[in-house]
Amino acid sequence: MTSTEESGAGRLAGKVVLVAGASSGMGRATALACAREGADVAVVARRRAALEVVAAQIRALGRRVVSCPADLTDPSAVESAFTRTVEQLGLLDVVVITAGTNIRERALSVLTQQGWEEVLAGNVETAFQVTRAAVPRLRGRGGRIIYVSSLAVQRPDTSGVAYQAAKHAVVGLAHGTMQEEKANGIRTTVIFPGVTDTPLLLKRPVPTSPEVVAKALQPEDVAAACVFVAALPLRANVPELQIAPSQL
């Protein structure tokens, strides 16, 4: 057992983590997991009331927290969230991007222009805006950006052409950022979760069967993967990480 573990400080003690998409699902679980591991946390998402619930839970764990309601597709709102985070919590160490969405009318035969734009905005535009705001604040600190994509990228399925395209784009954004910024100490990781019991399942055209839900990953499983990556020493990086249900 390390001295950190013996003191109960946690693997992320002394770090500041910003979680984008923190109001529910994987984002909420990741924000709480980071706090339990000793990090101070900024939580960013659109839904103010849900975000405040998460913030209260983090405070109850004895960690500092900044709640930043923001539309993640709005550059000024995202920039403001990062500014508040640094002002109130100090320098930033880790950014986790869990924001994402899908729609019911996802098949190419029924996908509308509006639907296409909605899915790309909710997955790619959000990731881009968060990345653009994060990079200047992570340079020179061994900063890390963790992108939550989808196992659908590596195991194509019927999640929809817009969703598939968007999650592929997130991978390109992550790897491109790494190549441009690794000399400045920034590392990126893409996590590819399989079926996970989150509110996104409710947007499927056909309801997911209880049998599948029972075997799905839990948000806490993805959060554990994020914490593992965030806690790696500066000399180490995991460019990509799959996490799949063991029985599906």
Q: Which residues are catalytic?
A: 163
**DSSP characters for 23-55?**
TSHHHHHHHHHHHHTT-EEEEEES-HHHHHHHH
Cα distance between residue 104 and residue 79, in whole Å: 31
CA-based end-to-end distance of the chain: 35
Of 194, 248, 193, residue with least CA distance to 225? 193
Q: Which two tokens stand for residue 170?
A: 């997130």
Helix, coil or strand: residue 74: coil
